[in-house]
């Protein structure tokens, strides 16, 4: 949950006033995929791997942190057999993609459960300061 909270906090922090953050969770056969997209300034292509290094900051960014959050997030994802990557969202900002494999027991449980949807979206709109869940 700390990884998710950190990624969401970063998206909100770097999204401009009246900006938008979209969180999408999708259950796939053997993994959970969470994407967090925003319409902030994004991460320049040449910085996309460097931001996962300890104390790394995007040069020229107005808002700053300690530079450890994304390092922690990637380490946790990889320790659980998953991954964390960054790209560009359809909204022009950053798109973080977190994948976490299901443990064998969890995959078996999900195989037996019939859910109405295998994905879920949340939209955070900073203009209205509320979020609205949108099941798919």
What is the reported pLDDT for 54?
A: 77
For the chain, the domains span 2-135
What is the reported pLDDT for 67?
A: 62
What is the reported pLDDT for 57?
A: 66
What is the reported pLDDT for 129?
A: 45
- For the chain, how many helices (H) and strands (E)? 3, 6
How many CB atoms neighbour CB 133 within 10 A? 9
**Domain 2-135, CATH:** 3.30.565.10
What is the reported pLDDT for 37?
A: 95
Residues of the chain with pLDDT under 50: 114-116, 129-133, 135-136
Tell me the Ramachandran region of residue 13: left when phi exceeds 0, alpha when psi lies from -120 to 50, beta otherwise. Answer: alpha
What is the reported pLDDT for 130?
A: 41
What is the reported pLDDT for 22?
A: 94
CA nearest 39: which of 97, 88, 3? 88
What is the reported pLDDT for 39?
A: 94
């Amino acid at each position: 949950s700390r990884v998710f909270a950190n990624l969401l906090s970063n998206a909100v922090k770097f999204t401009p006033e009246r900006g938008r953050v979209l969180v999408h969770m999708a259950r796939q056969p053997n993994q959970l995929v969470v994407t967090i997209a925003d319409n902030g300034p994004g991460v320049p292509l040449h910085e996309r791997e460097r931001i996962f290094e300890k104390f790394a900051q995007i040069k020229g960014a107005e808002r700053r942190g300690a530079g450890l959050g994304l390092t922690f997030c990637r380490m946790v994802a990889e320790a659980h057999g998953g991954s964390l990557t960054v790209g560009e969202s359809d909204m022009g900002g950053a798109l973080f993609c977190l994948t976490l494999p299901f443990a064998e027991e969890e995959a078996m449980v999900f195989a037996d459960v019939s859910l109405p949807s295998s994905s879920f979206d949340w939209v955070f709109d900073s203009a209205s300061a509320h979020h609205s869940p949108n099941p798919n």
